[in-house]
Chains A and B, each alone.
Chain A
Amino acid sequence: MPLSAYLIVSAIIFTVGVLGVLIRRNPLIIFMSIELMLNAVNLSFVAISSYLDSADGQMFVFLVLTVAAAEVVVGLAIIVSIFRTRRNIDVDDMNLLRG
């Protein structure tokens, strides 16, 4: 398969993730959409790595995976602590930088 086929699948999945962030108001689903975007980029990294016959793209996938794990851990902890104090996690209500 040509490289651009993989890149277009990646672009479509990335756009779906962007739409999820723009449309949904449940912060958990917004987080999942961010994961979708990270994975779309990973797909293009692996495709380009295989196209260039070089392992560098796979290294970047490894780093993105680590950053995604750290982001999920901290992000979910923030959501849980917001929920503890407010009993409500509508993102439209979170418009102040204080509790």
Chain B
Amino acid sequence: MTGVQISFFVLAVASVASAIGVIAFKNAVHSALSLILTLLFLALFYLQLGAMFIAIVQILIYAGAIMVLFLFVVTMLASEVDETQLADRIPWQRWVAGILGLTLVAALSYLLFTGTAIDSGAKATAANSLSHVVATQGNTEAFGLALFHGFVFPFEVTSLLIIVAVLGAMVLGRKA
């Protein structure tokens, strides 16, 4: 086994285990901490795949900003919510959910193993390939070049989306 394989399997087991922790912990704060762990493991996956900028953004924005917001709300509301005291109105829900989940993961794995592979013809040509740009310009530069050459309009729409989200949060957070 090479180092890449060993790190892949360690990361795979760790990220799936912490993802299961998110839905298994009774306490919402523990779930949030487990989710932060999952996000950090995914950032390591991105590093392994050579996407350094995305890995850093993942840690800063996701594990940092978004999860801080989550933890604020969880600690504000968690003491009031005790899921174990709620009456279980749909007792067969867990079993059906488990069967559906197993079906989903089996179907996805089956398709991934037997489905037609992604067309290698879609691979970028040597001159504008990501590895070439990364080697000549650098990782963040390659991301910026791709973003501001091919994805300018989606980028601008993104800023609109953020403004709408901020306004929505302000309107919802106002004292009614």
A residues at B contact (CB < 8 Å): 1, 3-9, 11-20, 22-26, 28-29, 31-33, 35-36, 39, 42-43, 46-56, 58-59, 61-63, 65-74, 76-81, 83-85, 87, 89-90, 92
Contact = CB atoms under 8 A, between A and B. Distances in A.
A87 B22 CA distance: 24
B70 A73 contact: no
A22 B28 CA distance: 16
Interface residues of B, number: 83
Contacts of B4: 1
Which secondary structure characterizes the binding site on chain A?
A: helix
Contacts of B42: 39, 42-43
Given A18-B104, A22-B97, A9 B15 contact: yes
Contacts of A18: 100-101, 104
Interface of B: 4-5, 8, 12, 15-16, 19-20, 22-23, 28, 31-32, 35, 38-39, 42, 45-46, 49-51, 53-54, 57-58, 61-62, 65-66, 69-70, 73-74, 76-78, 80-81, 83, 86, 89-90, 93-94, 96-98, 100-101, 104-105, 108-109, 112-113, 118, 122-124, 129-131, 133, 142-143, 145-147, 150-151, 154, 158, 161-162, 164-166, 168-169, 172-173, 176
